[in-house]
């Protein structure tokens, strides 16, 4: 298994500590896996049917995922 390091604001970390019963590493691991699985479902090939599939999948992802958090990184 590969390790990654995340940086979070101190204020968030302090709030996380209040919920010590939550295994934060496991939570992040699962949410990353869920997101990657969602993205894997999008077919990026060039034919018309695939473009339709991609657009339909994006609508589903927009409904089920808070893309505001993702999109804020586009401004960096």
d(CA 57, CA 53): 6
φ/ψ of residue 21, rounded to 5: -75, -15
Task: State pLDDT tens for residues 16-70.
Answer: 999 999 999 999 999 999 888 877 776 554 445 555 555 556 666 666 666 566 6
Q: What is the pLDDT of residue 73?
A: 55
d(CA 28, CA 12): 14
Full-model pTM:
0.53
Q: Is the separation of the CB atoms in 34 and 57 below 8 Å?
A: no
Q: What is the residue-wise DSSP string for 39-50?
A: HHTS---SSHHH
């Amino acid at each position: 298994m590969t390790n990654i390091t995340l940086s979070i604001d101190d204020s968030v970390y302090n709030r996380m500590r209040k919920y010590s019963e939550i295994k934060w590493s496991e939570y992040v691991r699962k949410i990353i896996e869920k997101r990657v699985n969602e993205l894997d479902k999008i077919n990026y090939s060039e034919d018309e049917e695939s473009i339709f599939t991609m657009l339909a999948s994006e609508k589903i992802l927009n409904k089920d995922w808070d893309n505001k958090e993702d999109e804020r990184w586009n401004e960096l």
